[in-house]
A and B are shown apart, each in its own frame.
Chain A
Amino acid sequence: MDWTIWLEWVIKGLVLCLVLLVGFAYLTLYERRALARIQVRVGPNRAGYQGLLQPIADAVKLIFKEEFTPSRVYKVAFLLAPVLTVVPSLVLAAVIPLGTSFNLFGREITLYVANLNVGVLYLTSIASIAVYGIVLAGWSSNNKYAMLGGVRATAQMISYELSLGLCFATAVVLGDSMNLNEIVNAQRDIWFAVIQPVGAVIFLIVTLAEVNRAPFDMPEAEQELTAGYHSEYSGMKFALFFMAEYQKMIVISMIAATLFFGGYREIWFLKDTFLAVDSVWTIGSWQFKAWFLGPVYLLIKVIVLLFGMIWIRATWPRIRYDRLMSFGWKVLLPLSFATAFITATGILLAQEFDDQLYLYAIPALSIVSALVAVVFIYRDLRRKSHGRI
């Protein structure tokens, strides 16, 4: 193993971290502007052109704020918690393929940091580790509100992780691999969101709960818990929690794009045109591969998915905690079991009888099961609003 491989890994890792950091900074601006538009306000537009320097101003403010450590906290865990929250959000991105590959100085540079054959499992394991930071923050603050926030976050993330795992399994079955590169390449002909629309929607809902975003942001519900698990944090330590949340949003959108929306690949009906990521462009006598389209497509998909998250935050009220739990356990979990089962059975039957008809049954049957779930929720809500309670 020669040293250039190490150099390549280090550079790729650094670039990815920088991309996520800058992405976090500008996601805050994006969210504030988009929220403002939805609420018929203007939003921050004073620092720089259209407020483009606002994230830098925020960062400077947070860096120079007083960092206060309350005297009765459990010191080690209190210092460790923000770090444990940020690291998983950065590490998650390592296996996500950002594009194909390009040649530089005679060597092929691939656009991912690690090409794990168990990439999907890696995602689940890191996502399950991500709980620790929040739990520790809640406990070590020695504050009832923070503690309740931490306990809520744990319960919520554990409950929704099950459905998340089943959605991962659906994508693995569809892509016939646990390697994220192969899953992306399997979506050359059609996106998995088309074959399994219900799985994609469940995935998007569950990831909202996993990153504690509205309407599932119970761990930091202001009117009940002041600020939840990060009540006692200030200055840069608070900024780290903030950073982790937004980086997780970005990474989770990248994962959703990779698993269900074709990853860095073009929309499937453009697959053999010059807009495809593996096409070769010719300008005059100069031929080159259009590898740079990959990151661009992924960026567009991530921006669209992030807008969905912001839109949901702007328009939906926070869900009540018991409803959150029963939604996760009684609706999403059975539904994701059903979609995983339907997908696996459809693919097996299509292979067994060599008939594409079974593949068409997958979206149809899963949409039917989702409609059944919606009817049940509707009846339940109607009964509750008309009856006692």
Chain B
Amino acid sequence: MTSELLVFLVLSLVAIASALGMLFSRNAIYSALFLVLNFVTVAVFYLTLGAPFIAMSQITVYAGAIMVLFLFVIMLLGAERMTAPNALPWQRPLAFLLAITLTVESVYLILTRAKPDTVIAAPDAATNSMESLREMAMTLFDKFLLPFEVTSILLLAAMVGAIVLAKKERAGSKS
């Protein structure tokens, strides 16, 4: 148990450090790289929880696809240099206020609602086997078919929208 705790502590340190690094680095590319590191740490968290499928999807989708596109756009636009801070002077006090509210709320909820005697069961061997993957697919395509299809339609709409926006105006041009 102690080794798991050790892994957890080290991972959380890396996760928090990379999140802070992403927030505070003044170069958009380095920010994006810190975010990638953060995603990978979260994937390792999933692995320690015994969910390799979700871990690998996390890496493929977030670190592999989305962040690469982010980097691509940042590089293509040459927007890696951040503009000067304090573009909006009222932003900083507001952010502090909101952050303090969130902290107070969550501490209050943790102190009052979290029950220390409930034990989170360790995932059994079935979660790690192919069977669970099959069960997951079955649940996804059987019980949650409608939300799944709605999500795909949403993504399709977003894709069509992006293509419409990116398409050149044809009117008047002949070649």
Spell out A's residues near B (CB within 8 Å): 74, 76-77, 116-118, 121-122, 124-129, 131-132, 135-136, 138-139, 147, 150-151, 154-155, 158, 161, 177-179, 182
7 contacts between A and B (CB under 8 A): A124-B56, A124-B64, A125-B59, A129-B64, A135-B71, A138-B75, A151-B76
Contacts of B133 in A (CB 8 A): 117-118, 178
Contacts of B130 in A (CB 8 A): 117, 177-179, 182
Cβ-defined partner of A122 (8 Å) among B29, B33, B56, B69? B56
Contacts of B75 in A (CB 8 A): 135, 138-139, 147, 150-151
Known: A132-B36, A132-B68. A121 touches B76 (CB 8 A): no
Cβ-defined partner of B59 (8 Å) among A129, A158, A178? A129
Question: Distance in Å from the Cβ of A241 to the closest Cβ of chain B?
Answer: 18
Are B52 and A158 in touch, CB under 8 angstroms? no
Known: A135-B75, A139-B29, A178-B130. A118 touches B53 (CB 8 A): yes
Contact with A along B126-169 (1 / 0, CB 8 A): 00111001000000000000000000000000000000000000
A127 and B128 alpha carbons, distance in the complex (Å): 23
Q: Is the interface of A mostly helix, strand, loop or mixed?
A: helix
Residue of A at shortest CB range from B69? A158
Are B56 and A154 in touch, CB under 8 angstroms? no
Q: Does B57 contact A (CB under 8 A)?
A: yes
Spell out B's residues near A (CB within 8 Å): 27, 29-30, 33, 36, 52-53, 56-57, 59-60, 63-65, 68-69, 71-72, 75-76, 80, 128-130, 133
Are B65 and A158 in touch, CB under 8 angstroms? yes
Question: Distance in Å from the Cβ of B69 to the closest Cβ of chain A?
Answer: 7
Residue of A at shortest CB range from B131? A117
Question: Distance in Å from the Cβ of B18 to the closest Cβ of chain A?
Answer: 14
A153 and B19 alpha carbons, distance in the complex (Å): 28
Known: A117-B130, A121-B60. A158 touches B53 (CB 8 A): no
Are A154 and B72 in touch, CB under 8 angstroms? yes
A139 and B56 alpha carbons, distance in the complex (Å): 27
A127 and B59 alpha carbons, distance in the complex (Å): 10
Are B29 and A124 in touch, CB under 8 angstroms? no
Question: Distance in Å from the Cβ of A348 to the closest Cβ of chain B?
Answer: 13
Known: A118-B56, A121-B60, A124-B60. A154 touches B68 (CB 8 A): yes
A341 and B69 alpha carbons, distance in the complex (Å): 28
Are A125 and B68 in touch, CB under 8 angstroms? no
Are B64 and A121 in touch, CB under 8 angstroms? no
Contacts of A118 in B (CB 8 A): 52-53, 56, 133
Question: Distance in Å from the Cβ of B136 to the closest Cβ of chain A?
Answer: 11
Contacts of B53 in A (CB 8 A): 118, 121
A138 and B68 alpha carbons, distance in the complex (Å): 13
A126 and B69 alpha carbons, distance in the complex (Å): 16
Contacts of A154 in B (CB 8 A): 68, 71-72
Are A117 and B71 in touch, CB under 8 angstroms? no
Question: Distance in Å from the Cβ of B58 to the closest Cβ of chain A?
Answer: 8
A58 and B80 alpha carbons, distance in the complex (Å): 38
Residue of A at shortest CB range from B65? A128
Q: Known contacts A135-B71, A150-B75; can you find 12 more A-B pairs with CB under 8 A?
A: A74-B27, A116-B52, A121-B52, A124-B60, A129-B64, A131-B68, A132-B33, A135-B68, A135-B72, A138-B75, A139-B80, A178-B130
Residue of B at shortest CB range from A124? B60
A333 and B27 alpha carbons, distance in the complex (Å): 35
Residue of B at shortest CB range from A176? B130
Are A77 and B29 in touch, CB under 8 angstroms? yes
Are A117 and B129 in touch, CB under 8 angstroms? yes
Are B68 and A158 in touch, CB under 8 angstroms? yes
Contacts of B76 in A (CB 8 A): 151
A329 and B133 alpha carbons, distance in the complex (Å): 30
A241 and B68 alpha carbons, distance in the complex (Å): 19
Cβ-defined partner of B72 (8 Å) among A74, A116, A155, A179? A155
Question: Distance in Å from the Cβ of A186 to the closest Cβ of chain B?
Answer: 13
The 10 closest A-B pairs by CB, nearest first: A128-B64, A121-B56, A125-B59, A125-B60, A118-B52, A125-B56, A154-B72, A118-B56, A131-B68, A139-B75
Contacts of A138 in B (CB 8 A): 75
Question: Distance in Å from the Cβ of B173 to the closest Cβ of chain A?
Answer: 15
Contacts of A129 in B (CB 8 A): 59, 63-64
Question: Distance in Å from the Cβ of B90 to the closest Cβ of chain A?
Answer: 33
Contacts of A177 in B (CB 8 A): 130
Contacts of A150 in B (CB 8 A): 75
